[in-house]
Structure 1
Amino acid sequence: MEYYLDVILPITLQRAFTYHITEAEADFIKVGMRVAVPFGKNKIYTALAYRIHNNPPLIYEAKTIHQILDETPIITEPQLKHWEWIASYYMCSVGEVMRAALPNALILESETIISRNTEILVKDVDLKDDEFLIFEALQFQTSLKIQDVISILDKKRVLPVIKGMVEKGILKLHEEIYEKYQPKLVRYVKLAQGLKTEEKLQELLEMLSRAPKQREVVLTLFTLEAQKNVPIKVAELTKASGSSSAIIRTLIDKAILEEFHIQKDRIEYQGDSASDIKQLSAVQEEALVTVEHHFEEKSVTLLHGVTSSGKTEIYVNLIKKQIESGKQVLYLLPEIALTTQLVERLQHYFGEHVAVFHSRYSSNERVEVWHNLLSQKSKAQLIVGARSAMLLPFSDLGLIIIDEEHEQSFKQFDPAPRYHARDAAIVLANYHKAKILLGSATPSLESYFNATKGKYGLVELKTRYNNVLMPDIELVDLADKYKRKRMKGHFSDRLIEEMTLALEEGQQIILFQNRRGFSPIVECVTCGHSPQCPNCDVSLTYHQYRDQLRCHYCGFNTIMPKTCDACGNATLDTKGFGTEQIEEEVKVLFPDHKVARMDLDTTRGKFGFEKLITNFEQGEIDVLVGTQMLTKGLDFRNVKLVGIMNADNLLNFPDFRAHERSYQLMAQVAGRAGRTDLRGKVLIQTYNPHHRILQQVSTNAYEDMFKEQMNDRYNYHYPPIFRLIKITFKHKDYNKVNLASDWFAKSLRQVFKANVLGPEFPPISRIRNLYNKNILVKIPQNQSLPKTKEAIMKIHNSFNAVKDFRPVRVVLNIDNY
């Protein structure tokens, strides 16, 4: 009987690919194990075993697998089901979900190895300069990698040279798989087995009487082993004995000491054992009881608590119960910056049960969390992470907490799978029969709508912890201040007055400006020319600290010109302002105080967030200027004043969610103020102080905002009343994008009639030299979503069958929140 294996490849394939396996391999391979398989032209991929059967593929001849890479599966059964759901719902392939889920070090790929054809001599062929350098390098080495050739030739385009040499028969190419994950091995030493008795040790010390340093090492090791009764690290012994690693190496060579290695995780909790959980207030206790009551009937509950109402302590009590019952808990956060503060708090309560998983961790560190979770170790019982943590191999999940559930960071935009972590986590919880708690001070309209309709449980916390007052919010009319000449740079007299007062009292200040860089536009006063990005339809942002113009879409950068490129005059001026300019102005206004900036430019490193947040918490920074990173649930105890520099650029954004997002952003950043006994103050600078959203923020009227926005959503058929599918077309040729999107829109209108909007260019229509054009498909509640997707896929397949349209990239984005 013939045996075949369907595998999932980490590429965009709509169906599993089939390979031939032997009977012994069929007995050994389990679903979820990794296998190396040949695919395409001599390329070897890591694939996941998906299904074993006896049916050969009808269209192609099945190749044999290259090798089996695991002894046990590296994914769990509920995890695979969840991947299949994500692929089906978000209209992508399971391979793309696999690529997003697995840490990079678990996806082994082959590397092209270059070797010399020994039958051909250099005198037999005519070699160019570059070819001779490669040939000469292979005289001294048996093989080279592509990266080695790039270093030898000192240029990036080496493939044409290699191809030419292969065609001449000088070189041979073959593919080689290599393991990316390197376990961390720590060196330990112990006394040799026969030397542990007192007599033997005495003899040894006498023998080493002429080598005092070696004698000291042996005595120190003997003392440490007696005291600690745990293995002794080489580094620890070196430090305790004041010796060097060379002396320890000599003792190992003499067989006096034995060396051994123990595999360790790269990140280990170093603190004390877990401490007692804080006593809840009466209001928190009541909320906790209500949450648990809702969990008896509903799997999802929304906790709507104002900023600083103590939601985290309620989460901690729920987590404690799950950990005590041996269940796993997933705690999702929208921003890596938040994990820094929160992990310390959670480790304080749960010690080494806490594991962290997000993109700032190295690939090896993420593999270790993956394996710990797979082995159901206690050190990975509570996973804290950003959206990708939802794709980990959980086997016994009891609770999922989604903090700041309204955040758009939970939505993955590129590459596929374009999932929404909140919605996908609700499905994941169903597979594990787990509970989900959504928490936010400003819930998304979708979640609050579901809670008011009874689909989710709803628990509300309307007062701050310890009955601290909500901050006093004041709107400052910029038009009036400019007219009366009461502005210094971008600061109104009211903001300077409140900042002076706060700093005199020794309090801290947060200033929010949702734009990084120094100035978003550089313009010539003489001719009006503004430097544009050559790859995108945006003006370049000036970054003063590097004296550069940068594009925030494609990363293009250039030195700041001294004269205008168009007219040659040295009359360049900056318009608008970003976090850099605000930081500069604060330093001028308050030269005696420490100012820092928190945006993407200052937090690029692995510990960038940690350093800034720690310095601010310890009072080393008086004024923190930042972008929306500041708004997401950070808990600073000493912040008296929050200033929103310009509320209007949030409100005037061409998006149906602009007003909802503006309310959320401003309410969240306002919530950083006055979190202890001192009442906080928030100043919002705006040209339009009578705007409904600003009035609602100033009175903390979430329900009013919800009713008003829901009214618009009903009238204009937007989520959560209608569902949305956004279809984006991308190509470097403007005309091709137009033709392709028009054809697609006509086909969609034949099926969906008036519920198709577009095609329309977005505000920034060209990014990275690709033109973008969008179509929106609105889906009423009574329309079947699977059938809608099926109809779109049929049109998509017909679209791909047209030769002229094939180069146009089509991106399908479901629930485009």
Structure 2
Amino acid sequence: MYVKIAINIPADSPFTYSVPDPLRGCADVGKRALVPFGSRRLTGYIVGVLDGPDVDNVRDILEILDTDPLFSSDDLAFYSWAASYYHYPLGKALHEILPGGINLTSDRRYVALDVSATPLNSLPERQKNILERLKALPKGMSLSRLQSLLANGPIRKDLSALVSANLVTTLECLKSPDVRKKTEQLVSLAVGRPSNARLSERQKEIVAYLERKGAAGVDELRACFGSHSPVVRQLLKKGVVALSHREVYRSSTEPREMRPDRQIQLNDDQVAAVNALKAGLTRKKFLSCLLHGVTGSGKTEVYFSAMDHVLATGGGALYLVPEIGLTPQLLHRVQQRFQGEEIAVLHSDIGRGVRYDNWRRIQKGEIRLVIGARSAVFAPVPDLRLIIVDEEHDSSYKQDVRMRYSARDLAVVRAKMSSAVVVLGSATPDIRSVYSVRRGKYTSLSLPRRVENRPLPEVEVVDMKVQRDGNGQFQVLSDALQSALHRTFSERRQAILFLNRRGFHTFLFCPECGNALSCPNCSVSLTLHAKANQLRCHYCDYSVSTPSFCPTCHGRDIQFFGAGTERLEDEIKMTFPQIRTSRMDRDTTTARGAHARILRDFDRHEIDLLIGTQMITKGHDFSNVTLVGVISADTSLNLPDFRAAERTFQLLAQVSGRGGRGPEKAQVIIQTFNPDHYAILRAKDHDYSGFIEEELRIRKSLNYPPFSRMINLQLSSLNQDRGRQEVDELGRRARTWSRNPSGGAPVVEVIGPAEAPIARIKNRHRWQILLKSDNIHALHSLARHLILSGQTKTLDIKLDVDPMSFM
């Protein structure tokens, strides 16, 4: 028996191994195996079973690491499709998809040899220090540990010299996984226990308890009998009880105490949407639906009705949201609606042990309803019948590191492979989704009215070019927004202020020499974080204390420009010292559960004003919010991206929709330096259809998506000159290979190479080559050729298929 093993390395194909006789009964697709790989032992994933070898010199697998598969053959087909489409090695993709921290890893340790007879005076000082460190630990030390102890530069060359001199050797060890199955000790009555054993009163109580229960965990006994260990030990000696172990599943601590779910009577539009979804679910065939409903139109109730139908008929459902901040409120509503149904939550804020347990229970069919952020699209749900992608337009569904996948797009692919129904819901659908409806690929469902016919908020646009304070400086808060905030707080209502930029000031500037304080590793300015008294880079996390003088000319007239959420919070507290304010951005939500705590406090009216970045614009439902302020609508509008207008419209429409969810009317104030831009004017009038028509005309004239497809080659090098030469050569190759054999226009349009908008990140110089075509096969074929031929020791190439960002 032979198996195909995918390993977490950049290899295009899996490797063939033989299965020794003792392991043949348990070598199944979806299980992990420990395999020899060169001099190391690595964890791999069984992705195929063969009757005979397809290569020579096949080695044996060492161990099967799972009793049950972590994924099925159907799941593997989906994972393989995703890895292929996004040009990512299958082994690395599986490593990302499966729960983290569960693999055995090979750990190379450096051990000092007996060097008592060897003169060490001739060794460089650095090598002497390494030997002293290693001699202090006879079991050896890893490279990373040694490097951390000797922090003055790389030590790999010194270690190699010591190994060559036979002063140090290396050992390959296995490092245990961080996450394992959790077990508890179980106490039960022993089989054939003596009937005449003399027992104390306390021992009799425990025996009687076990006779009723059959068995009990040690935590359960402790809760019932307090300090019980000595008593159990005596019973064990007398042969009355026996000890064993059983697995226990870890559970999430997602908060469950937000307000009770309201009973809602579906309106005619909702009923029509639900009936269409139920008809599709009954047919058990692939169906892709775009549910376009204005903010507050009750899309969630439509989702719930479809989920109810699936669960009642024994199927599985997957509910995706773009941000983990949405899950606490949503989870509570789901728990209220589906009482008695076990629910798995999968996102990055969930502990790895909980995620591992949830994953295995989902795969076994013990949990049929999964809620999560983008990575949950890979959850191994058996008999998957329904996938919901809420806020389907949101760019957070696109991962921009490692495997650069779109969970929104993969949800459609997975539904097709599973013959399931996928519902893409949004108040501001992605323009590609609208285009797919027009081409007949998606079914259109519409919710044109808010529940209970509540009105959409009134929107006022403020031209910030004429908003200046007494010193002639531009204001952070316009007069109109300040007046509206005063009115809102006097009426004991709540408000939301949106600014998609964190920090205090955007950058620091020296007027004497013209220097803007920038990151030494990246081509970006440093952002002031006032509370920490630091300047920080939001790309590489470089930080430095805020200087009192210019580091270039030593001038002391440093000026601050721009406003971030931290400065906005400071400004609010000075203007409205009596109100309760909270800020929600990446700086305030790093701790586990921080999203939930902030939203819970806001829901309980313990916060009057919530300030935040785009994480506050998505899907939240707070009935007491009657004012929404957009501090700067221009932040997204000025990005170097053909989607800038679409994203601006979506952000404005979505954040506006957070207001007026209750019985009171709401007001939205949008501050901008571009009050006549069509995206802002259409958002002011809640005119999604008008915006889409205008945007489609522009996209078609430029042959941008949805009228074409794109792949972005992200190129980087530590050596700017050598990297630029290789980038130019790659661009020439791309143009040669993209030529039409018949002499017409190129099948694939090659744009670039050009320097990336952020030309350097983490000391790597960056360029881009953009490939564009309406022929998807030609597009992917060219990209594959380029990455195979262009990857060198100097130049790193990353492919971003269907890119959502060009920064």
The whole-number CA distance in structure 2 between the counterparts of 1:154 and 1:794 is 41
Query: Following TM superposition, by how much is the alpha carbon of 1:244 offset from its aligned partner in structure 2, in angstroms?
Result: 4.2
Answer 1 or 2: which has greater helix percent: 1
Contact 1:726 1:776 in 2 (8 A): yes
Partner of 2:656: 670
TM-score (norm 1): 0.89
Partner of 1:211: none
Partner of 1:369: 358
The whole-number CA distance in structure 1 between the counterparts of 2:614 and 2:150 is 45
Aligned residue among 769, 777, 786 for 1:786: 777
Query: Following TM superposition, by how much is the alpha carbon of 1:14 offset from its aligned partner in structure 2, in angstroms?
Result: 1.4
Does 2:265 align with 1:265? no
Partner of 2:308: 320
Contact 1:105 1:179 in 2 (8 A): no
Query: Following TM superposition, by how much is the alpha carbon of 1:179 offset from its aligned partner in structure 2, in angstroms?
Result: 3.9
Pairing 1:442-481 to 2, within 5 Å after superposition:
442-481=428-467
The whole-number CA distance in structure 2 between the counterparts of 1:151 and 1:701 is 57
Partner of 1:111: 107
State the superposition RMSD in angstroms: 3.1
Pairing 1:197-596 to 2, within 5 Å after superposition:
204-205=200-201, 215=202, 219=205, 221=206, 229=213, 232-239=216-223, 241=225, 243-244=226-227, 260-267=244-251, 278-293=264-279, 299-350=287-338, 351-377=340-366, 380-415=367-402, 417-482=403-468, 489-596=475-582
The whole-number CA distance in structure 2 between the counterparts of 1:764 and 1:727 is 15
Does 2:52 align with 1:54? yes
Question: 2:467 is paired with a residue of what secondary structure?
Answer: helix
Aligned residue among 3, 6, 11 for 2:4: 6
Partner of 2:124: none
Kindly tell me: are residues 383 and 498 of structure 1, through their superposed partners in 2, closer, same or farther at Cα, counting changes over 3 Å? same
The one-letter code of the counterpart of 1:368 is D
TM-score (norm 2): 0.90
Contact 2:134 2:140 in 1 (8 A): no
Query: Following TM superposition, by how much is the alpha carbon of 1:122 offset from its aligned partner in structure 2, in angstroms?
Result: 3.3
Question: 1:679 is paired with a residue of what secondary structure?
Answer: coil
Deviation string 1:364-390 (CA, Å, 9 cap, x unpaired) is: 22211121111111xx21111111111
Aligned residue among 789, 794, 797 for 1:807: 794
Gaps spanning 5+ residues in structure 1: where? 206-214
The 10-residue stretch of structure 1 (171-180 or 719-728) with the greater mean CA deviation from structure 2: 171-180
Deviation string 1:517-539 (CA, Å, 9 cap, x unpaired) is: 00111112333221110011011
Question: 1:80 is paired with a residue of what secondary structure?
Answer: helix
Deviation string 1:336-380 (CA, Å, 9 cap, x unpaired) is: 111122111112222442101112223222211121111111xx2
Question: 1:636 is paired with a residue of what secondary structure?
Answer: coil
Partner of 2:134: 134
Kindly tell me: are residues 129 and 697 of structure 1, through their superposed partners in 2, closer, same or farther at Cα, counting changes over 3 Å? closer
The 10-residue stretch of structure 1 (7-16 or 581-590) with the greater mean CA deviation from structure 2: 7-16
Question: 2:449 is paired with a residue of what secondary structure?
Answer: coil
Pairing 1:102-181 to 2, within 5 Å after superposition:
102-113=98-109, 120=114, 122-123=116-117, 126=120, 128-138=128-138, 163-169=160-166, 171-180=168-177, 181=179
Aligned residue among 64, 70, 73 for 1:74: 70
The whole-number CA distance in structure 2 between the counterparts of 1:151 and 1:476 is 53
The one-letter code of the counterpart of 1:264 is V
The 10-residue stretch of structure 1 (126-135 or 314-323) with the greater mean CA deviation from structure 2: 126-135
Kindly tell me: are residues 298 and 428 of structure 1, through their superposed partners in 2, closer, same or farther at Cα, counting changes over 3 Å? closer
The whole-number CA distance in structure 1 between the counterparts of 2:474 and 2:76 is 59
The whole-number CA distance in structure 2 between the counterparts of 1:248 and 1:418 is 57
The whole-number CA distance in structure 2 between the counterparts of 1:434 and 1:386 is 19
The whole-number CA distance in structure 2 between the counterparts of 1:771 and 1:605 is 32
Query: Following TM superposition, by how much is the alpha carbon of 1:608 offset from its aligned partner in structure 2, in angstroms?
Result: 1.0
Contact 2:508 2:561 in 1 (8 A): yes
The one-letter code of the counterpart of 1:15 is S
Kindly tell me: are residues 672 and 250 of structure 1, through their superposed partners in 2, closer, same or farther at Cα, counting changes over 3 Å? same
The whole-number CA distance in structure 2 between the counterparts of 1:528 and 1:148 is 43
Deviation string 1:496-552 (CA, Å, 9 cap, x unpaired) is: 111111111111110000000001111123332211100110110000110000000
Does 2:84 align with 1:88? yes
Contact 2:469 2:475 in 1 (8 A): no
Question: 2:671 is paired with a residue of what secondary structure?
Answer: strand
Question: 1:400 is paired with a residue of what secondary structure?
Answer: strand
Percent identity between matched residues is 32
The one-letter code of the counterpart of 1:621 is I
The one-letter code of the counterpart of 1:367 is Y
The whole-number CA distance in structure 2 between the counterparts of 1:743 and 1:171 is 44
Partner of 1:715: 701
Question: 1:318 is paired with a residue of what secondary structure?
Answer: helix
The one-letter code of the counterpart of 2:17 is Y
Query: Following TM superposition, by how much is the alpha carbon of 1:743 offset from its aligned partner in structure 2, in angstroms?
Result: 1.9
Deviation string 1:427-456 (CA, Å, 9 cap, x unpaired) is: 111221111000001000000111133211
Contact 2:16 2:53 in 1 (8 A): no
Question: 2:137 is paired with a residue of what secondary structure?
Answer: helix
Kindly tell me: are residues 488 and 793 of structure 1, through their superposed partners in 2, closer, same or farther at Cα, counting changes over 3 Å? closer
Kindly tell me: are residues 129 and 572 of structure 1, through their superposed partners in 2, closer, same or farther at Cα, counting changes over 3 Å? closer
Pairing 1:630-649 to 2, within 5 Å after superposition:
630-649=616-635
Kindly tell me: are residues 231 and 158 of structure 1, through their superposed partners in 2, closer, same or farther at Cα, counting changes over 3 Å? farther
Pairing 1:620-635 to 2, within 5 Å after superposition:
620-635=606-621
The whole-number CA distance in structure 1 between the counterparts of 2:467 and 2:511 is 25
Kindly tell me: are residues 192 and 395 of structure 1, through their superposed partners in 2, closer, same or farther at Cα, counting changes over 3 Å? closer
Deviation string 1:677-711 (CA, Å, 9 cap, x unpaired) is: 11111000112222211111111000000000000
Partner of 2:33: 35
Deviation string 1:32-71 (CA, Å, 9 cap, x unpaired) is: 322222224435343434242424426xx43333333234
Contact 2:527 2:537 in 1 (8 A): yes
The whole-number CA distance in structure 1 between the counterparts of 2:436 and 2:147 is 56
The whole-number CA distance in structure 1 between the counterparts of 2:45 and 2:170 is 23
Query: Following TM superposition, by how much is the alpha carbon of 1:422 offset from its aligned partner in structure 2, in angstroms?
Result: 1.4
The whole-number CA distance in structure 1 between the counterparts of 2:5 and 2:538 is 39
Kindly tell me: are residues 743 and 165 of structure 1, through their superposed partners in 2, closer, same or farther at Cα, counting changes over 3 Å? closer
Contact 2:458 2:668 in 1 (8 A): yes
Kindly tell me: are residues 586 and 289 of structure 1, through their superposed partners in 2, closer, same or farther at Cα, counting changes over 3 Å? same
Count residues with an aligned counterpart.
782
Contact 2:505 2:562 in 1 (8 A): yes
Partner of 1:690: 676
Contact 2:319 2:388 in 1 (8 A): yes
Question: 2:767 is paired with a residue of what secondary structure?
Answer: strand
Kindly tell me: are residues 257 and 443 of structure 1, through their superposed partners in 2, closer, same or farther at Cα, counting changes over 3 Å? same
The one-letter code of the counterpart of 1:788 is L
The 10-residue stretch of structure 1 (650-659 or 745-754) with the greater mean CA deviation from structure 2: 745-754
Kindly tell me: are residues 788 and 489 of structure 1, through their superposed partners in 2, closer, same or farther at Cα, counting changes over 3 Å? closer
Query: Following TM superposition, by how much is the alpha carbon of 1:732 offset from its aligned partner in structure 2, in angstroms?
Result: 1.8
